[in-house]
Structure 1
Amino acid sequence: MLQALLPCQAPIADDMLAHLKASDKKVAVLKGSSGTGKSFIAKMISEYWTRNGNNCCLYFTGNVMCSTRPFGLLEDVLNFEIKNMQTIAEEGVVEAAKDAPFIGNTLSFLLKKRAEQAGAQFPTATGCPEADIARKMAFFIGRKNPLIILDNFHWTDRSTMDFFATLVRIGFTEGGLSLQHAKIMIVATPAQSDEFATDALHAISSYPSAQTFTTNDVGIADFNLALRHFGIAAIPDNTANALYAITSGHLEILKMLGEYLKNGGRIEPAGSKKNSFLEFMLKERLRREGVPGSYVYEVLKTASVIGLSFDYAEIDCLTRKKDFSLSPIIKKANDLSLIKEESGRYYFAHEIIKEVFQCKAEGKRHELMLSFVNCLRLLKPADLPRRADFAFEAGADRDALHYYILSCLQLLRDGKSMSPLASNRLLSLIELYPDEALYYHSMRKGYELFIRKDYPSAMSAIAAIEEVYSGALNAEKDYLFALCSSKSAERSKKIESIQLLEYWNLSSFQESEGELWSRLAATLLSLYVHVGDNTKARLIEKQIMHFLSKRLKFDTNAEVQINIIRRKANAIHSPEVATSRTEKSVAFFSKRNTVGIPLYPVQLYMSLSNHSGNLTTLGQFTAAFETAGRALSLLTTIPEANFPRDEIPANNYAVAGFYSGLLGAKEGTLILKQTLHSCNFCDNFILRNNLGVLLALQGQLKEAKDELTAAYQDLCSTDGDDFFAYYLLSNLVGVEAIGGDKISARKYFLSLQNLQPGILSWELPHLELRCRLLDWAIDNVEPKTGQEWMHALFAIDEDGLGPSWKYLGLGFIMSDLQFWSES
């Protein structure tokens, strides 16, 4: 017999275990009322099962927070196991770089190699979430006898419920991995299940090899045993009867009430329903606290509308007009064990406590919800899913639709999907509003084309959207249009983007939509740099940082935005300052969740790419190569994310790899040629410049000259930045010098002298020195090879103007690439 909490639970636990051990049985379903010890039984069976070394158990526990994330619970638990593999993969990128064929399949090559060394082949993603989950489960189970437990079935998402229904019915066999022999245990509370969960549970229970077990409410006979378990000494019968009447044997409530009685409280029985008893108990406890107790009652009644948890800023916003100080009230509620604090948030001690307070707030529920939507807009403007849900629950359909649309676009940028619930709500609302439907479908198509780097088509997709929507929707459209337009090498396109975004750089929009404003302003900053207006760029950076720093105490997204600005530091700061800031952004975005997945994978990818560029400009080529390798590894380890513009880390990997000696010119050439196939916008000129240099260094002077000349001619057909022209002309000087054609070298040099390439203000002194040395070298240096020309300027002035001379003082110059416009 298993050692149960109460005698009434032991037969249930023993029967379930016997059922699961039987060879012809597969599924055990445990259901019952809340507070009857179901989870205790499940954990007891799990512990017993795993005592046998040939057995293993996967234990999933649903909660309210994961109920809106498709497969979120399963992914979180299963991904924990791959954390070590991810670390191995990242560390292996640099060490195995010389063995890699070339970019394209480089990372998958390295990862397979490292996985084979670890003695296991991790299942690759198939693009089908259900199959991927099944493969991960089977992979970790291996050859052991598995028990898969899903506790709180009613609090999981619908995709997970469907998955388990399929797992019970047919099992999964994917890529040679099978779950058909797995034993399954489902734990659910029918009274808290919606219609979908009820149907799914019924389907699972109806399976031929399934059996349902039911826990009963704790009877009076077991009551004193339960009291002793929760640390309550023997008490008089009349007191025990009173407690039993108040709790109806609910173990969670019993635990709380027992503690209250233990501390000297007295409760007289009243009413007949558990919630009414609990309401009575709460009122009695708070009445004895006097005036502070009445304030606690009001505050928690308001907080119950927010949900099971809330933070100080949220409840402060909702109760700001009240005639009391909030801090002592929150402390009193915490002291009374009605709420508990964890990681800066306050949680109701139990969902039933929240429900009691929520019932008392029912008359003002919609009003409070609309007020909370406004609080979220001011406090947490990036939390669009919650804004949408609260507006929907409050009946503000059009506002809810706008927020669901903005949330969908936000998730598209991050490479994530909407929850089934949010998606269904969006689709149901959009049928009521044709204008919003046009906006939604146009913007969704625009973002999908943007992610595929088809910028002209993306702009065409959203061009028909009229300015007839809310400010946030119009601003979001302008943001995407400006992002696409800014990818052109033409200066006029960047000026057009600036004019578009300057319209939104208003304090009123800053206050009403803080996240969107800071995103627009950050993109505007990079555009100012592109057109050479560094004064405005510095001013807007100061404006953004001042705005965000004031929000750090209450807006969790503020620190994210600050580190996005740090990531762009190279645009207006020296390499030394920029490297220090991108190092901070890499550290921040490297934070991982409890299962080892980066919290911000796309931002980490962009920060690593930019940091590698900054390290290159400081001449720290090996560190730059390693950092670019880390960025590239994310493309393989988190394939589901929408990582933008893979040509940026690939370019930096090739450039830093060559400069560090860890990659040869031939390997770098292969990387850049493959990368160029998917790049048809302004970065194309830098990639072609770098390719021309590597060709010249291999002695392929004709091919190098053709590549550089064609790129320069294409640039001249636009009103492109002098920045690109400077690099192309400077390298054409070198190619002609090696070929012995001093006249052509001098012609290109004269064109070079007339340029104003100062996108980056810190580069100007280096480029002026470079011009003076090139002028001398054309007449006085007779290079025979690319390598001789590479070090010609160092022979004249080895130190230049500091660390960046290691990079800008080379005869041939290649450029790093960085993410500036994306926020």
Structure 2
Amino acid sequence: MELLLYQSKVVEKLINRIHEDYHYILMTGKSGSGKTFTLKQLETELSREQYQVILFEGDYEYDDREYYPFKKALFLREDSTKKIIIGGVAEASKEIPVAGNIISYIIKSLVEKTTTHNLFLNNEEQNILAKLRQIIKKQHVVLIFDNIHWWDRRSLQLLKLILTNKEILNLDKLNNFSIVFSVTADQPALHTDLMNDIIHNVNCEEIIFPAIGLIEFKNALFNATLQSFSDTQVNLLYNLVNGHLQVFFEVINEINNHSFDFNATYENNKQYLSTVLEKRLKEFGADSTQILKALEYASIIGITFSVYELRNITESTENEIKKIIADTSKLTITEQTETFDYIRFSHDIIREIFKTKVEKYHTDYYNSLALCIKEIKPDQYLRRARYSIKCLNTENAVTLYMLEAVKQMRLYGKVLNTIYEEMYPLTNSTQREYLKLMQEAYNLYSKKEYKKASSTLNLILDIFPVEVLAERDILKIRCFSKTMASNEIQDIIVRANDIRKNNTFNGEKDIWERYSQVVMIGFAHLGEIKLAREIESDTLRSLSERLNYDDTANKRLNIIKRVSNSIHNIDVSAVFVKDAFVYFGNSLSGIRDIRQYYICLGNYTTILINQGAFEEAYNIAVCGFEIERNNRDIDFPRIQLIRNNYILAGYLSKNLNEDTCIQLYEDMLLEMPIISERLFYNSNLSIFWALKNNPRKAYDILHNEALLHYDMQEKEGLYQYRVVTNTAIYQYLLGKTDAALQQLDSIKDLTKRLINGSYFSKKNDLLIQLMKSGTVSTGKEWIKVLFAIQPTYQDLAWKYFGLGYAFMAVCNWDMSE
């Protein structure tokens, strides 16, 4: 459909303002005047001029889905795995400054806080900003914020942050950037205070979007119908349309079909449109009832809705829904979107008409929708809570509000005040105390005060619904997983697994899956690999039911893949971790999820080191530093991990020497608290002193660190293996052969049950053989002694596992989203 003359003039005016470098433009007008269609034409015109244009759209029904305008614009339109990103990462690393500068950066970043903006961004916001940075790198950027009066509160808060801190996106450094706000004046705003605050704090050039004038209306009417009308008829039609183009198009259809009744009277254009739609649907005969029901359900989902949601809510077959969509598209009631399997109403006035019909039977409709969403998008607790309120199911609504509050603590750090205000009248003091304790526990967890967090969680009594208590226990297990696995933790994980096997948490799939994930990793830390794999299999089966329509399920699947080397050998985990690396790093517009990609990048370097691909691991680790430097407002998790892998890969690829590695480890350990992970880094540090032919210092470093926190009842085995093996080697190099052999003999069974146990067991046997034969070697030469008697074993991974010392390339097994 072509623009009408008055719309074309608005496009021309907007383009002129953008060419004149107006940074902020506010466009206001009445509903139905054609603003959104005009903005899409503006997007098309500017794209032809090589502008980078991003269109963000609000949806009245999506206030309960945080950051929806950003997610829809930046993520929902993407296809996964368009190209393999790994080669690109390796290429990008060549553009990063040489090793000397990297080492300087590492040291500086460990001592100083690398973040430049103290903005307290949550993970979702960090990911959105990182995505925006990737997209708007080039000059001439136009951001269009359509229907901003329908944006959810978190989206508006983030937008305000962006506009008041322009350096976040480097907008102030672009030669040309413009932001266009679009507001419908005669529609209610969801968060008027915040919207007005945003608009008033920037100096906007305001453009009033006009309604179609009488003369242009008369000309457009003739062009569309090729009929002449009397002035009385034109005035009647003009007043009926009342500036609403959707109604105008329906009038034209009626006239062209010879079915418009000039003698009929209507209270307003909405009543006329409703009458027309009813009449046209009746033309489908028996199918009209099914079509009407589907459209009524769709109307309470939102302007945009997914085919899958509609099919499940209406309990229709896929072919039935496709036919309904095809029929309604012919009637211009609905239209396809750019996102696969997503449909939208042609205009909100049409959605409103069908939603009005729902109100007569709203309990049945909203109850069906709530049950459907529980199955297909179970973590949308706020949406489900509001549906429960409409169904007068207050008790269920309270539980869902509590789950939503915990979800916001987990994902965003704190709960929106508006959510507390909404749920407060429905909750009692005991329920509010639960939320207070959960918030305190999450605050402590984020500060790495795991024991205090766990103690706070112990104050929550078993008096709440099982799904609410499960949230407490998930966080508690996450706290325990941060400490070295012991008998006490084993008892806790075993009890948790019993609960998991015998409880569906009232059918809450999201909770059951996250509960299963933490128990799986708990067993991995305990070295109970068989049990961990069984839980992984159960969880994957649950996720597989929703992969086609639930973004959370896809994200969770790939998080499981990125930690796969916790329970799978190198052959299997190499495939899975690479899959996750590609998924999180690869989309049409760049990295899909910056934090998850960063974690995957670190884990993938571990896989490459284990495979003996040291040079590639080194290059990818360097890219991790570049991601840090390009996103300085993001507090990336466990940055020491990628530094450890960089050091190992750098040395084993001959890019770094022993002295540099020692310096980096010592600087890293200076800033690290007494946590179990220190054992890995001190173990690696000790090896480099041994490589400098100083086994005494190597032994003292590792032995003294072990004394600080080493628990001989540690179940996992990863710590014990490194401590025992490396100190045994140092003992041997110091001439204490019997003590060394005794130590190695003590871990024979342990090596067999570790992941990649065949390599560890083989290595242990060879070390014993060498020591019994009295092999003479320096610390420097010891790294290659096993290759002299066993050059190859199984596959290329022996290049790493066959090294004389027990190095540790570290992975992040935290399954946080």
**Is this a same-fold pair by TM over 0.5?**
yes
Pairs within 5 Å for 1:120-519: 125-127=117-119, 151-156=146-151, 187-194=182-189, 196-197=191-192, 214-227=208-221, 232-234=225-227, 244=238, 246-258=240-252, 262=256, 266=260, 269-320=264-315, 326-342=321-337, 343-391=340-388, 399-414=396-411, 423-430=417-424, 432-506=427-501, 509=504, 512-519=507-514
> Could you tell me whether the CA contact under 8 Å between 2:470 and 2:505 is conserved in 1?
no
Cα-to-partner distance string for 1:287-343 (whole Å, 9 max, x where unaligned): 122111232112211221222122233233333399x95554344333433222331
Identify which range, 649-658 or 313-322, moves more after superposition: 313-322
598, 603, 608: which is aligned to 1:615? Answer: 608
Name the CA distance, whole Å, in 1 between partners of 2:457 and 2:431.
13
1:678 corresponds in structure 2 to: 672
Q: CA deviation at 1:479?
A: 1.0
Cα-to-partner distance string for 1:583-631 (whole Å, 9 max, x where unaligned): 1122222244x75452x33332333332222222221222233344444
**One-letter code aligned to 1:300:** L
Q: CA deviation at 1:756?
A: 2.0
2:743 corresponds in structure 1 to: 748
**One-letter code aligned to 1:380:** K
Q: CA deviation at 1:59?
A: 7.7
Name the CA distance, whole Å, in 2 between partners of 1:311 and 1:805.
49
Stretches of structure 1 lacking an aligned partner (at least 5 in a row): 110-122
2:718 corresponds in structure 1 to: 723
Q: CA deviation at 1:355?
A: 0.2
Q: CA deviation at 1:512?
A: 0.8
> Could you tell me whether the CA contact under 8 Å between 1:340 and 1:346 is conserved in 2?
yes
Instruction: Quickly say closer, same or farther: Cα 1:463–1:91, change in 2 above 3 A.
Output: farther
> Could you tell me whether the CA contact under 8 Å between 1:246 and 1:270 is conserved in 2?
no
751, 754, 762: which is aligned to 2:756? Answer: 762
> Could you tell me whether the CA contact under 8 Å between 1:287 and 1:293 is conserved in 2?
yes
Look up the SS of the partner of 2:499 in the other structure.
coil
1:116 corresponds in structure 2 to: none
Q: CA deviation at 1:752?
A: 4.1
Cα-to-partner distance string for 1:428-468 (whole Å, 9 max, x where unaligned): 42474322222223222322332333221221221211112
**One-letter code aligned to 2:247:** I
Look up the SS of the partner of 1:440 in the other structure.
helix
2:81 corresponds in structure 1 to: none
Q: CA deviation at 1:711?
A: 3.3
Higher relative contact order (Cα pairs below 8 Å, separated by 6+ residues): 2
Name the CA distance, whole Å, in 2 between partners of 1:496 and 1:193.
55
1:701 corresponds in structure 2 to: 695
785, 791, 795: which is aligned to 1:802? Answer: 795
Instruction: Quickly say closer, same or farther: Cα 1:772–1:152, change in 2 above 3 A.
Output: closer
31, 35, 43: which is aligned to 1:34? Answer: 31
2:779 corresponds in structure 1 to: 786
> Could you tell me whether the CA contact under 8 Å between 1:286 and 1:293 is conserved in 2?
yes
Identify which range, 699-708 or 404-413, moves more after superposition: 404-413
Q: CA deviation at 1:204?
A: 6.1
Look up the SS of the partner of 1:680 in the other structure.
coil
Look up the SS of the partner of 1:188 in the other structure.
strand
Instruction: Quickly say closer, same or farther: Cα 1:93–1:430, change in 2 above 3 A.
Output: farther
2:535 corresponds in structure 1 to: 540
Instruction: Quickly say closer, same or farther: Cα 1:475–1:644, change in 2 above 3 A.
Output: farther
> Could you tell me whether the CA contact under 8 Å between 2:96 and 2:626 is conserved in 1?
no
Percentage of pairs with the same residue: 22
Look up the SS of the partner of 1:798 in the other structure.
coil
Instruction: Quickly say closer, same or farther: Cα 1:403–1:329, change in 2 above 3 A.
Output: same
Q: CA deviation at 1:394?
A: 5.5
Identify which range, 679-688 or 806-815, moves more after superposition: 679-688
Look up the SS of the partner of 1:512 in the other structure.
coil
> Could you tell me whether the CA contact under 8 Å between 1:306 and 1:369 is conserved in 2?
no
Look up the SS of the partner of 2:500 in the other structure.
coil
Look up the SS of the partner of 1:589 in the other structure.
helix
> Could you tell me whether the CA contact under 8 Å between 1:57 and 1:149 is conserved in 2?
no
Cα-to-partner distance string for 1:31-84 (whole Å, 9 max, x where unaligned): 33222245677789999999999xx9988654227867888868998999xxx9
501, 504, 515: which is aligned to 1:520? Answer: 515
2:82 corresponds in structure 1 to: none
> Could you tell me whether the CA contact under 8 Å between 2:467 and 2:505 is conserved in 1?
no
Q: CA deviation at 1:788?
A: 0.8
Name the CA distance, whole Å, in 1 between partners of 2:201 and 2:673.
55
Cα-to-partner distance string for 1:235-278 (whole Å, 9 max, x where unaligned): 65598677546533412332355356556765664413111011
596, 599, 602: which is aligned to 1:606? Answer: 599
> Could you tell me whether the CA contact under 8 Å between 2:335 and 2:344 is conserved in 1?
yes
Name the CA distance, whole Å, in 2 between partners of 1:51 and 1:483.
51
Look up the SS of the partner of 2:343 in the other structure.
strand
Name the CA distance, whole Å, in 1 between partners of 2:15 and 2:547.
51
Identify which range, 574-583 or 148-157, moves more after superposition: 148-157
**One-letter code aligned to 1:621:** F
Name the CA distance, whole Å, in 1 between partners of 2:379 and 2:353.
30
Q: CA deviation at 1:127?
A: 2.0
Cα-to-partner distance string for 1:753-807 (whole Å, 9 max, x where unaligned): 5x524443531x3233223221232244554532211111111111133333222
Q: CA deviation at 1:482?
A: 0.8
Cα-to-partner distance string for 1:797-822 (whole Å, 9 max, x where unaligned): 11133333222221111122223352
**One-letter code aligned to 1:773:** L
**One-letter code aligned to 1:486:** S
Name the CA distance, whole Å, in 2 between partners of 1:671 and 1:389.
53
> TM-score of the superposition, structure 1-length normalised?
0.81
Name the CA distance, whole Å, in 1 between partners of 2:160 and 2:540.
50
Name the CA distance, whole Å, in 2 between partners of 1:330 and 1:75.
25
Stretches of structure 2 lacking an aligned partner (at least 5 in a row): 77-84
560, 564, 571: which is aligned to 2:559? Answer: 564
Look up the SS of the partner of 2:300 in the other structure.
coil
Q: CA deviation at 1:17?
A: 9.8
Asked if 1:5 corresponds to 2:10, the answer is no
**One-letter code aligned to 2:682:** R
**One-letter code aligned to 1:504:** I
Instruction: Quickly say closer, same or farther: Cα 1:300–1:792, change in 2 above 3 A.
Output: same
Name the CA distance, whole Å, in 1 between partners of 2:33 and 2:357.
26
Q: CA deviation at 1:16?
A: 9.2
**One-letter code aligned to 1:696:** A
Instruction: Quickly say closer, same or farther: Cα 1:241–1:126, change in 2 above 3 A.
Output: same
1:773 corresponds in structure 2 to: 766
Identify which range, 157-166 or 646-655, moves more after superposition: 157-166
Name the CA distance, whole Å, in 2 between partners of 1:634 and 1:500.
40
1:113 corresponds in structure 2 to: none
1:583 corresponds in structure 2 to: 578
Name the CA distance, whole Å, in 2 between partners of 1:649 and 1:134.
22
Name the CA distance, whole Å, in 1 between partners of 2:310 and 2:162.
42
Look up the SS of the partner of 2:759 in the other structure.
helix
2:808 corresponds in structure 1 to: 815
> Could you tell me whether the CA contact under 8 Å between 1:39 and 1:151 is conserved in 2?
yes
> Could you tell me whether the CA contact under 8 Å between 1:58 and 1:147 is conserved in 2?
yes
CA RMSD of superposed structures (Å): 4.9
Name the CA distance, whole Å, in 1 between partners of 2:499 and 2:190.
45
Identify which range, 403-412 or 339-348, moves more after superposition: 403-412
Pairs within 5 Å for 1:41-80: 62-64=57-59
> Could you tell me whether the CA contact under 8 Å between 2:149 and 2:190 is conserved in 1?
no
Name the CA distance, whole Å, in 1 between partners of 2:117 and 2:722.
41
Q: CA deviation at 1:164?
A: 9.2
> TM-score of the superposition, structure 2-length normalised?
0.81
> Could you tell me whether the CA contact under 8 Å between 2:58 and 2:146 is conserved in 1?
no
